[in-house]
Structure 1
Amino acid sequence: MAQLSGIRKMVVAIAAVFASAGAAIPAPNATALSMQTGAITSQPIGHYEFCQTHRPECEIKSKSATAPRVTDFGWTVIRQVNLAVNREINPMTDMDLFGKDEVWSYPNGAGDCEDFVLLKRKKLMEKGFSASDLLITVVRKPDGEGHAVLTVRTAQGDFILDNLEDDVKLWTKTPYRFLKRQASVNTGRWVTIENGAEVLVGSVGN
C-alpha cells in the first residue's frame, strides 16, 4: 500500500509539472485574426444618406454569426475585384466631384475611398459573396486622417480591401487603427471594433 501511495504521489507530481508547463505557454491567439466588435455605434452620415437612396442595401439582415471558409477560387475573385476597382477608378475627393464632403455613391470613373468600397462590395455580392461578410469599415490612418476600407469576414480571419493597397491583407497587417464597421447581422447598423486600437504598425510582421 505504501508503494502504491508513492506511485500516486509521483503521478500527481508529474501531472502538476505538465500543467504548469502548459500554463506557461500561451495558446495561439486565434481571435487576433478577427475583429472583436462591440456595441452599436453611430452610422457615418455619408452611409446614412446613401441608405436613403439605396434602402434595400441597408436592410439586409442575417442570423449567421459564423464567417465562411473561402476557397482558393474565392480568394482569386477577391484579389481580382480589389485590383480591378483600384485600377478602374480615379481617386478624387467629394469636394472636387460634388462640391461638398461625405457623399457616398457608386463611382462613375472617379471617387474617394468610400466609393471604392461600395463598388468592391457590390461586385463581390454579384459574385455570390454574402452582404453579412462584406462590411464597410472606418479606420484612422497613421497621419490621423479618416479612411474607409472593405472588410471581408472569413473563417481564416478578417481581410482588408483598400484603394491605397493592391494586395489583400489580414487586418492586423495594415497600418490602421480600426474604429467601427457595419454589423454583420444588419447592414444598416454599425458597431464598434473593440480590439482595433491594439493593432500597431509593425507589430504583426511586415
Structure 2
Amino acid sequence: MSRAFKTWLPSRLTRRDTCRLIMAIFVKFEVILREGSKSEPANCSHRISPRMGKMKKVVFAAVVSAVAMFGSVDMAFANRPTQIVVQERVSSRGPQSFQAFCAFNPRECQPGGESKIALDDGVLRLLTRVNARVNRAIRPKLDNPLIQVWRVNPSAGDCKSYVVSKRHELIRAGLPPSALRIAYVKTRDGEGHAVLVVKTHDGDLTLDNLTGEIKHFRQTGYRVVGMSGADPRRWG
C-alpha cells in the first residue's frame, strides 16, 4: 500500500462504523448504478438487466473486500477537506443515507405521541438549551460528498448529525417523537442544509446549527426540499 494512500486512510474504526461505512458506500453506488441504468434500452420491465445486475454484484463485492482489507478505515472519509455541499434526492422514505441510518439505528427512527405540542415557556427553554448544547458539542465538519453520514452526538459532523442529535436529546427530555421533524432545505444562497423542525400549535419552530436562536420556520428563509412526517421513515 502506498504511503499516500495510508495517509489518506484514517486510523480507527469501530465495528458499528464499519457497518455504516459499507451501507453508505453501497447506497451511493446504488444511486450511481440506477442512474447508469437509464442508458439501458427502454422497455416496460422493471427487472434489472443482466449487465446492471452483474455490475451491482461486482460493486458490492469490491466494497466488502475493501473494508475487510482496510479494517482501520474510519467513517472519517468525511475528514478529507471539501468545499462541496451535496444534497441527496429525497424519496418518500427520505434521503438514502437517512434510510441507512434508520436501518442501523431503528430506535432513532420511531414515531410516537402527539404530532404537535403546546408551546409554553418551559418548552421554549428546553428547545433553546438543547439547540445550544448540541451546537457547542459537535465540531462542524462536512461529510465527504460521496458518503453522507447521520450520527447521534458525534464529536464532529455536519448539519445532518446536528439534527438527529437534537431530536435524540429532545425525545430523552420527554417531547413526543412525532412532533420532531427532519427537514432537508435550501438556504437563501441555494446551499443544501438540514434542520430540526418542532411542530407546535403555535407554528413550526426551527433548531439550526447555524444559529442559537429558535425561529419560526417561515422566518428562516429556507425552502423545503423534503421533510419527515409524524413517522420519520415517511417523507413528503
Normalising by structure 1, report the TM-score: 0.66
Q: Residues of 2 paired with 1:179 and 1:152: CA distance?
A: 17
Residue segments in structure 1 that go unaligned for 5+ positions in a row: 1-39, 192-206
Q: Residues of 2 paired with 1:60 and 1:169: CA distance?
A: 24
| Partner residue of 2:223 out of 150, 158, 177 | 177
| Partner residue of 2:233 out of 183, 188, 195 | 188
Which residue number corresponds to residue 151 of structure 2? Answer: 105
Q: Residues of 2 paired with 1:75 and 1:158: CA distance?
A: 12
DSSP-derived class of the 1:94 partner: coil
The 5 A counterparts of 1:130-169 are 130-169=176-215
Deviations 1:89-145 (A, max 9, x none): 1100112xxx84311112421110000001111111111001101111110012211
Contact 2:187 2:223 in 1 (8 A): yes
More strand by share: 1
* 1:47 is the counterpart of 2:88: no
RMSD: 1.8
Identity across matched positions, percent? 35
Q: Residues of 2 paired with 1:171 and 1:136: CA distance?
A: 12
* 1:87 is the counterpart of 2:136: yes
DSSP-derived class of the 1:46 partner: helix
Q: Residues of 1 paired with 2:108 and 2:233: CA distance?
A: 8
The list of structure 1 runs, each at least 4 consecutive aligned residues, that deviate by more than 2 angstroms after superposition, is 56-62
DSSP-derived class of the 2:212 partner: strand
Amino acid at match of 1:104: W
DSSP-derived class of the 1:187 partner: coil
| Deviation at residue 42 of structure 1 after TM alignment | 4.8
Deviations 1:129-172 (A, max 9, x none): 01101111110012211110000000110000000111000001
DSSP-derived class of the 1:150 partner: strand
Contact 1:61 1:187 in 2 (8 A): no
How many aligned positions are there? 146
DSSP-derived class of the 1:166 partner: coil
* 1:70 is the counterpart of 2:119: yes
Contact 1:150 1:162 in 2 (8 A): yes
Normalising by structure 2, report the TM-score: 0.58
DSSP-derived class of the 2:127 partner: helix
Q: Residues of 2 paired with 1:41 and 1:126: CA distance?
A: 27
DSSP-derived class of the 1:60 partner: coil
Which residue number corresponds to residue 196 of structure 1? Answer: none
Q: Residues of 1 paired with 2:221 and 2:177: CA distance?
A: 25
